Every structure is written in structure tokens, then in C-alpha cells.
Amino acid sequence: MGVDFLRKTAQSHAKAWSTEFQRSSEDLFAPTCDSLRRSFLAAVSGEAALREGDPVTIRLVDDRVIVLKDVYPLAQIEKPSLDLVEHLAACYGVLSGYIDDTNDFAGTVSVFVGVKE
């Protein structure tokens, strides 16, 4: 009586993926890194040859945010904001940008995080 009753009165169930899961599975491994589109001040280390418009890479290494040109570390963002660190962590520790402005007297550069328009 027990099992037969349950089988007769049970509602049918069809297994299927919901459309939300299907949409999210299409870009499961695609990077979702939106750029910040902000400028940050970085202290130049040594005699760096940075000019306005140079493409750079911003990288999170431990707790430091380093500005690289090609593979050479040339500057460091000394007090990075929380949103920059969170974006770097979400984007696997690497963002692209370019040098927005240089100040040779102060030994600093303005690094714009995002793509050049």
C-alpha cells in the first residue's frame, strides 16, 4: 500500500536546466573584467623612462600594486584604493592601462586604468 500509493499520487518531475544556468554556462570560463576607468598616482622607482601614452600593465603582487612596462617594474602605487585592489583580485591580479601624466620633479606618474580612447 505505501509505495504503490506514493507512485500513484506523486507529481511527475522532469529534470531540466533552467535558462539562467544555460546562459551562465556559455561564458563560464570567460573573463568578466570590467576596467575601472580611473587614474592613480604611482611613485617611480629609479630612472624609469615613462612617457605620456605608454601602455603599461598594473599587477597585484602580494599587497603591492606594481606598474610594469613590458616585463619591467617601473613604478608602484603606494596606497591603492580598495576598489583597485578588488578589481585586480577579480581580474586575476592584472589590469591594463597607460601613462596619463608624468611629473619628473616629484618622481611620480599618473596611471590611467582602462583602455585608451
Q: What is the pTM of this model?
A: 0.69
pLDDT recorded at residue 7: 81
- Our count of domains for the chain comes to 1
Residue (of 88, 59, 53, 55) closest to 69 by Cα position: 55
> Is 18 inside a domain boundary?
no
Q: How far is CA 27 from CA 20, 24, 31, 34, 99, in A?
A: 12, 6, 8, 15, 32
> Is 23 inside a domain boundary?
no
pLDDT in tens, the chain (117 residues): 688 888 888 887 777 767 777 777 666 666 667 667 889 999 998 777 888 999 999 999 988 999 999 889 999 999 999 999 988 988 889 999 999 999 989 999 999 998 766
The parent domain of residue 94 ranges over 35-117
> Is 2 inside a domain boundary?
no
Residue (of 38, 63, 36, 40) closest to 109 by Cα position: 40
Handedness of CA 47, 72, 85, 83 (dihedral sign): positive
80 contact partners, CB below 8 Å, separation of at least 6: 40, 65
Query: What does the block give as the cell for 93?
Result: 591580479
pLDDT recorded at residue 31: 61
> Is 14 inside a domain boundary?
no
Q: How many whole angstroms separate alpha carbon 39 and alpha carbon 57?
A: 13
> Is 44 inside a domain boundary?
yes
> Is 106 inside a domain boundary?
yes
> Is 27 inside a domain boundary?
no
pLDDT recorded at residue 46: 78
pLDDT recorded at residue 99: 93
Digit-coded pLDDT (tens) for 9-35: 888 777 776 777 777 766 666 666 766
> Is 112 inside a domain boundary?
yes
